[in-house]
Amino acid sequence: MMTRSELLHAAEVCVCGQREEDYGTPEDSFRVIGELWETYIKEKCVGDPAAEVCIVPEDVAALLALLKIARIATGHGKSDNWVDLAGYAACGGELQSRPAVCGK
């Protein structure tokens, strides 16, 4: 069992350490994920590729956090889900303070 401090430290290591060097910044990857989700939603859910759908990086952070919450709610509350949830919250909180523009 991890303490609060250990969990937050593990999340910090994830979002501020090697993972960013391996996969790029959350701003960049969440922007690309948002663009891919927009395309999918336009085609699959809305049925109109010209529809206006806007998913900004902080939306991606929130939706990925919900994925972790769903895992926890279905009995899969392993410590790594809690660590990832804290990491997504930190990224989303930082991203929210920046202006976001769809399609950019």
Weakest-pLDDT range from 24-28, 33-37, 70-74, 81-85: 24-28
Sign of CA dihedral 36, 39, 42, 45: negative
Q: Which residue has the tokens 């806007």?
A: 54
Res. 66 pLDDT band, cuts 50 70 90: very high
Residue ranges of the domains in the chain? Answer: 4-96
What is the pLDDT averaged over residues 9-26? 85
pTM of structure? 0.87
| Mean pLDDT computed over 35-55 | 93
Q: Where are the beta strands (DSSP E) in 25-69?
A: none
Give whole-number Cα distances, 38 to 18, 24, 56, 65, 69, in Å.
28, 21, 10, 18, 22
For residues 19 and 43, which has the higher predicted lDDT (pLDDT)? 43
Give the mean model confidence (pLDDT) for residues 76-96: 92
Higher local confidence (pLDDT), 20 or 35 = 35
Instruction: Categorize the per-residue pLDDT at 103 as very low, low, confident or very high, splitting at 50, 70 and 90.
Output: low
Distance of CA 99 to the CA centre of its chain: 17
Residue-level length of the chain:
104
Task: Provide the 10 A C-beta neighbour count for residue 35.
Answer: 15
